């Protein structure tokens, strides 16, 4: 009997030690953001057109919608038959002028030798030198004209103005375009969330505020957090436009609509980790540390209030008060 009594005392002592060592939480009232749900769209910081620098016919198109491009990448080629004909004509003229320059050089060398021997007067040498200079200058002029046409042909390459993703093709192969016409539109790879907030909620909105995006929007469990970068000063159709940065927003779909939670003010609330709440037969309980021991107290749960510091935060509407000691199950 004495041995059984000793075992009972040891068991009670071990139970009390376990309860003392159990993880506890002191309930305190916190000021939380009164979140409001709004819709936002994924948009590029800027959408720029890739334009042709010459007029002509689109003979090659190297990209399609959704393709990634880098700055300076050739995405299309514009051909102009007139430029090709002008190039052929200049090539023929350059060949003729080259032959004239060669003949002028031969005449100058021969006349120079005859003048040195006194066979011809020096005025003939001056005439030959002038003819040689005229032939050389004419050849250089036509070569420069050819370089201009070659540069115009090279400008038939339509280059991507910046790195990003092709949103839309505006022409097809065979289309006739003028100088300056847009060939494709390119969205820069840096995406933002563009919020449209009702003006009654937007008065509390400012740059630097945090926003929350449900993880379900990305097929994930954890919510994503972002920061408002800019609030536009103009109200459109009763809504205020704001841009926010969210890490891991995605890199493909532009215009995708997401549900975003913004702060519509603050209010006091009891927020505890969801791990302190257990559910039995449809009723939620928390374990409360009392002087006499640990008891289960029914509570009414509110909505989830995750924060960066408390990802599994859960609001408790009733059943606890400030100063209560909760024990994790």
- For residue 286, the cross-strand partners are 277, 297
pLDDT (0 to 100) of residue 18: 44
User: Does the 22-32+269-327 domain belong in CATH 2.40.420.20?
Assistant: yes
Q: Residue 275: left if φ>0, alpha if ψ -120 to 50, beta else—which one?
A: alpha
CA dihedral 264, 269, 273, 274 (to 10 degrees): -80
Q: pLDDT tens digits, the chain, 329 residues: what are they?
A: 443 343 344 344 444 444 444 588 888 888 877 778 888 888 877 788 999 888 888 888 889 888 888 888 888 888 777 777 777 888 888 898 898 889 889 888 888 888 888 777 888 888 888 888 988 898 898 888 888 877 777 778 888 988 888 888 999 888 888 888 999 999 877 778 888 888 877 777 788 888 888 766 666 666 778 888 888 888 888 888 888 888 766 655 677 788 888 877 778 888 888 889 999 998 999 998 888 888 888 999 888 877 767 788 888 888 888 888 888 88
Q: At what angle do helices 81-116 and 122-154 cross, to 10 degrees?
A: 160
Residues in the chain, overall count: 329
pLDDT (0 to 100) of residue 22: 55
pLDDT (0 to 100) of residue 219: 64
Give, for 182, the enclosing helix (H) or strand (E).
Answer: strand 182-188
What are the residues whose beta carbons fall under 8 Å from the beta carbon of 108, sequence distance 6 or more?
125, 128, 129, 131, 132
pLDDT (0 to 100) of residue 19: 41
What are the residues whose beta carbons fall under 8 Å from the beta carbon of 137, sequence distance 6 or more?
none
Domain 35-45+188-266, CATH among 2.30.110.10, 3.20.20.370, 3.30.70.260, 2.40.30.170 = 2.40.30.170
pLDDT (0 to 100) of residue 248: 67
The highest-level CATH class for domain 48-79+162-187 is: mainly beta
Rg (CA), the chain: 40
C-alpha torsion sign, points 145, 146, 147, 148: positive
pLDDT (0 to 100) of residue 3: 37
Please provide the DSSP assignment of 242-301 as one string.
Answer: EEEEETT--SS-SS-EEEEEEEEEEEEEEEEEGGGEEEETTEEEEEEEETTEEEEEEEEE
pLDDT (0 to 100) of residue 206: 82
214 within 8 A of 232, measured Cβ to Cβ: no
In this structure, the strands spanning 157-159 and 182-188 are unpaired
């Amino acid at each position: 009997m004495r041995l059984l009594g000793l075992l009972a005392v040891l068991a009670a002592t071990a139970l009390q030690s376990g309860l003392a060592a159990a993880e506890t939480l002191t309930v305190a009232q916190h000021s939380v953001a009164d979140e409001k749900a709004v819709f936002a769209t994924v948009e590029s910081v800027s959408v720029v057109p890739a334009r042709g620098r010459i007029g002509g016919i689109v003979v090659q198109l190297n990209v399609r919608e959704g393709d990634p491009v880098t700055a300076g990448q050739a995405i299309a080629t514009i051909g102009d038959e007139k430029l090709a004909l002008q190039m052929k004509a200049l090539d023929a003229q350059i060949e003729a002028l080259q032959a004239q320059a060669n003949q002028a050089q031969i005449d100058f060398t021969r006349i120079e030798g005859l003048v040195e021997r006194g066979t011809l007067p020096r005025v003939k040498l001056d005439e030959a030198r002038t003819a040689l200079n005229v032939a050389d200058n004419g050849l250089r002029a036509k070569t420069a004209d050819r370089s201009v046409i070659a540069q115009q042909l090279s400008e038939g390459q339509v280059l991507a103005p910046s790195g990003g993703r092709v949103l839309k093709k505006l022409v097809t192969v065979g289309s006739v375009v003028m100088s300056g016409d847009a060939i494709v539109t390119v969205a820069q790879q840096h995406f933002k969330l563009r919020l449209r907030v009702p003006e009654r909620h937007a008065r509390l909105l400012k740059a630097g505020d945090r926003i929350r995006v449900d993880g379900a929007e990305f097929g994930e469990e954890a919510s994503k957090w972002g920061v408002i970068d800019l609030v536009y000063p103009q109200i459109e159709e009763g809504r205020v436009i704001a841009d926010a940065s969210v890490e891991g927003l995605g890199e493909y779909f532009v215009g995708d609509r997401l549900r975003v939670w913004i702060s519509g003010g603050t209010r006091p609330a009891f927020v505890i980790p969801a791990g302190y709440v257990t559910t039995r037969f449809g009723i939620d309980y928390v374990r409360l540390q009392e002087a006499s021991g640990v008891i289960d107290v029914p509570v009414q749960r509110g909505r989830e209030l995750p924060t960066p510091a408390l990802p599994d935060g859960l609001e408790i509407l009733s059943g606890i008060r400030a100063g209560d000691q909760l024990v994790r199950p």
